[in-house]
Amino acid sequence: MLEIKNLRVKLADEDKLILNGVSLEVPKGQVHAIMGPNGSGKSTLAYVLAGREGYEVIDGEVLWNGEDLLAMEPDERAAKGVFLAFQYPMEIPGVATLTFLRTAFNAVRRKRGQKELTTPEFLKRVREEATSLGIADEILKRPVNVGFSGGEKKRMEILQMAVLEPSLCVLDETDSGLDIDAVRVVSAGVTKLRSKDRAMLVITHYQRLLNYIVPDKVHVMAGGTIRKTGGKELALELEKTGYAEFKSKALESA
Amino acid sequence: MTVALTRTKVEQALSHDFEAVAAKLPGGRAVTEARKAAIGTFAALGLPHRRIEQWKWTDLRSALKEPLSPAVGGAAKTSAPDIDAALEDLAALDAYRMVFVDGQHVPELSTVAAAKGLEIASLAAALAKSGDHAGDGLIAASAIGQEAVIALNTAFMTDGAVIRIGKAVRLDKPLLLVFARTATEGRLVTTRNILELGDGAHATVIEAHVALRGAAPGQANTLSDVSVGDGAHLTHTKCTVAGEAASHLATWLATLGKAATYHAFQLTASTGLARNNLFVTFKGEGAKLDISGAFLGRGAEHIDTTLVVDHAVPGCESRELFKGVLADKAHGVFQGKVIVRPDAQKSDGKQMAQVLMLSQDAEFDSKPELEIHADDVVCGHGSTAAEIDEDLLFYMRSRGIPTAEARALLIESFIVEAIDKVGDERVRAALAGIATRRLATLSASQP
């Protein structure tokens, strides 16, 4: 279970509060969506969960299966099952995608005390996942994300997620910049990974993605806190009403 | 204006040592005269220092503090396994070998002999045979400019490889020239190679400048005089891992004939002070030059690449890509000058130097220069120095890759782009192995 308790976060080198007391619980086996307007703190929450530098936690805690996530380095978090699908995946010139996947895969397997796979076993594994995501073999040989289209980059994030077998998946605006076909492929990849041992946090601005990845709960975030929590129908309501209600509240509290 | 300078201890010793060893140096009367003229040139110039533009970042006068006695004859006994150990990944290369230990050819360790269309000899033997005539271009290089380092090479050269490949002859295997240092006391080792490819000839030549285990700090002055005939193709690679306390002064002088291809590469690592001087002149139209390199510095190492590419005739293409990784207090220098003469229309020159800085204390100085006298040309250059991208590092760590491993992967991916330019696949793999081993120590030396 992911437990976020009264999390308050500011930028490390600026006195700017971004998360102002976020509390949230995502039990294993559930998918929660976080929706909210731009600048509400959604992406910051994703980065803080993954351990990116540049933020300072001034209060609160984050527990993952009872362990203090914030005390861990990013690679330790990955070994503990945390995976962040980036809104803007990075390009790594000179590092072949397969090499990158293999290095990451072996690193987390070692840390988790699992055995590494032989090269043929690993390749088979990656190719199966890649095929179901519509990723061509040729792309796996190219440097990570270099020259990839927006859709290819997002598929690659889901491929990494599938290969690394995380138990806490955080998806940051995975649907942004995708056409409807790409949203379908990516959503199918995510849905396939839903399981009773896995918690998922899906961050999105639009309701569209949640037609395909149906959440157990929807949280509305604005002004750095969770404003409202409801079932999947909340997403549909928001689609009609927009975020205006939450924006004004956010301003009042600021 | 000539400024009278007090000669340093090293400069005085060099002139003095020449008198002492001159009689033991190979060559007939003409060579001896050339040597004397060269030491005279050196005495007038002294060691290059920072007030000479081309040497402003590599001040040999202050860097070379202790005089070293010239190595003349009597190379220490060396075994093939010792040489192989020093050659690292190059040892397994299926190649002809010519081995020089402390500047002396060692026939027992060499595996190459003259064949039809291939003239191969040690420079010492060639000079000894030259009698009163220094013909056959043996000392032609000394005619180039007023370069103190070249003058010293002419004065002190003891040996080297003389390779002449006949018209349309293809060397069936790479030729590996090994320059190993063994001396238990520091020596000045001076070698010169002559590489001549006849029209249409093909060859792959590798120079490996290495130190055997236990070798004392030393100084190497090496020069390769290269001429690539019309339509000929030369892949010329240098791998320098001379030792942290060693200095390495290397000069390559190359001329390219019509439609010739010269594919050159230099890897420099684990060397205290290196100055790689490259002068390439296009003599015939339609020739192609690709000259690239990788340099890896740590500790207080200083690695300088200075090159001049002279588009003296029309329609030639030059490409240069140099990449370096600098850790600790290492100092990298890149000076690249491309000259396009007035008649050299349709010249196409591109040059790039990129450095990855692993430490705040590392330093990189770069001076790309274009000197263009023709109007119908395509020329460009660039130079960058960057640190490891923290966002990339985070991305990789978020996938479970530990920091050290992520850094190593990023550093390797940076340098691989340069190493990919090595013209021969087998040589490329060997250099990649040697570089990767050094990179591991570079990234590990960081916090």
- Residues A38/A247, Cβ–Cβ less than 8 Å: no
User: Distance, in angstroms, between A86 CA and closest chain B CA?
Assistant: 9
Q: Is A95 on the interface with B (CB under 8 A)?
A: yes
State residue B145's pLDDT score: 58
Nearest-angstrom CA–CA distance, B352 and B362: 20
pLDDT at A47: 97
Q: Could B394 and A52 be called an inter-chain contact, meaning their C-beta atoms sit closer than 8 Å? A: yes
User: Collapsing DSSP states into helix, strand and coil, what is residue B209?
Assistant: strand
Per CB-CB distance under 8 Å, the chain B contacts of A111 are 400
Write the single-letter amino acid at A20. N
Partner B contacted by A100 (CB < 8 A): yes
Interface with chain B: mutation pick from A75, A88, A101, A106, highest number of B CBs within 10 Å: A75
B400, A78: Cβ pair inside 8 Å? yes
Domain count, chain A: 1
Q: Do B398 and A83 touch (CB under 8 A)?
A: yes
For residue A14, report the phi and psi dihedrals to the nearest 5 degrees. -145, 150
Is the pLDDT confidence value at A245 over 90?
no
CA distance A220 to chain B (A): 26
* Model pLDDT, residue B137: 60
- Scored b (16 or more CB within 10 A) or e, B98-107 reads bbbbbbbbbe
Closest CA to B43 of B2, B72, B73: B2
Rg (alpha carbons) of chain A, rounded to whole number: 18
pLDDT tens digits in sequence order for chain B, 447 residues long: 455 568 899 999 999 999 999 999 998 888 888 899 999 999 999 999 999 999 999 999 999 988 888 988 766 788 999 999 999 999 999 999 999 999 999 999 998 877 788 999 999 998 888 766 655 566 665 455 568 999 999 999 999 999 999 999 999 999 999 999 987 777 899 999 999 999 999 999 999 999 998 888 899 999 999 999 999 999 999 999 999 889 999 999 999 999 999 999 999 999 999 999 999 999 999 999 999 999 999 999 999 999 999 999 999 999 999 999 999 999 999 999 999 999 999 999 999 999 999 999 999 999 999 999 999 999 999 999 999 999 999 999 999 999 989 998 999 999 999 999 998 899 999 999 999 999 888 766 554
Q: What is the pLDDT of residue B133?
A: 60
Share of chain A above pLDDT 70, in %: 97
Question: For A195-233, what is each residue's pLDDT tens digit?
Answer: 999 999 999 988 889 999 999 999 999 999 999 999 999
The answer to whether B9 and B67 are in contact (CB under 8 A) is yes
Task: Kindly indicate the confidence band of residue A252, based on its pLDDT and cuts at 50, 70 and 90.
Answer: very low
Residue A179 has a CB neighbour count (10 Å cut-off) of: 9
According to the model, what pLDDT value does residue A254 have?
Answer: 39
Confidence of residue A242 (pLDDT cuts 50, 70, 90): confident
> What is the pLDDT confidence band of residue A251, given thresholds at 50, 70 and 90?
very low
Cβ–Cβ of B403/A79 closer than 8 Å?
no
* Window 151-210 of A, Cβ < 8 Å to B: 160, 164
Please state, in angstroms and as integers, the Cα–Cα distance from residue B34 to each residue in B31, B125, B141, B193, following that order.
5, 17, 11, 17
Q: Which of B445, B216, B429 is nearest to B329 (CA)?
A: B445
CATH number (domain holding residue A117) = 3.40.50.300
ipTM of the complex in this document: 0.95
Q: Which domain holds residue A88?
A: 2-253
Other CB atoms within 10 A of residue B13 CB: 18
Q: Is A150 on the interface with B (CB under 8 A)?
A: no
The per-residue pLDDT for B250 is: 97
Q: Does any domain span residue B440? A: no
Q: Is A51 on the interface with B (CB under 8 A)?
A: yes
**Chain-chain contact of B398 with A108 (C-beta, under 8 angstroms):** no
Contact at 8 Å (CB) between B334 and B367?
A: yes
- For residue B395, tell me if it sits in a domain: no
Residues near A97 by Cβ (< 8 Å), separated by ≥ 6?
Answer: A139, A140, A141, A142, A143, A144, A145, A156
Say if residues A42 and A221 touch (Cβ distance below 8 Å).
yes
pLDDT in tens, A106-127: 999 999 999 989 999 999 999 9
What integer is the mean pLDDT of A45-49? 97
Extract the tokens encoding A2: 């992911």
SS3 readout for chain B: CCCCCCCCHHHHHHHHHHHHHHHHCCCCHHHHHHHHHHHHHHHHHCCCCCCCHHHCCCCHHHHCCCCCEECCCCCCCCCHHHHHHHHHHHHHCCCEEEEEECCEECHHHCCCCCECCEEEEEHHHHHHHCCCCCCCCCCHHHHCCCCHHHHHHHHHCCECEEEEECCCCECCCCEEEEEEECCCCCEEEEEEEEEEECCCCEEEEEEEEEECCCCCCCEEEEEEEEEECCCCEEEEEEEEECEEEEEEEEEEEEEECCCCEEEEEEEEECEEEEEEEEEEEECCCCCEEEEEEEEEECCCCEEEEEEEEEECCCCCEEEEEEEEEECCCCEEEEEEEEEECCCCCCCEEEEEEEEEECCCCCEEEEEEEEEECCCCCEEEEEEEEEECCHHHHHHHHCCCCCHHHHHHHHHHHHHHHHHCCCCCHHHHHHHHHHHHHHHHHHHHCCC
- Pairwise CA distance, residues A156 & B207, whole Å: 43
Quote the number of domains for chain B.
Answer: 1
Are B400 and A75 a contacting pair at CB < 8 A? yes
**SS3 state at B37:** helix
CA distance B335 to B328: 22
SS3 assignment, position B42: helix
The range of the structural domain enclosing residue B138 comes to: 9-388
Max CA pair span of chain A: 59
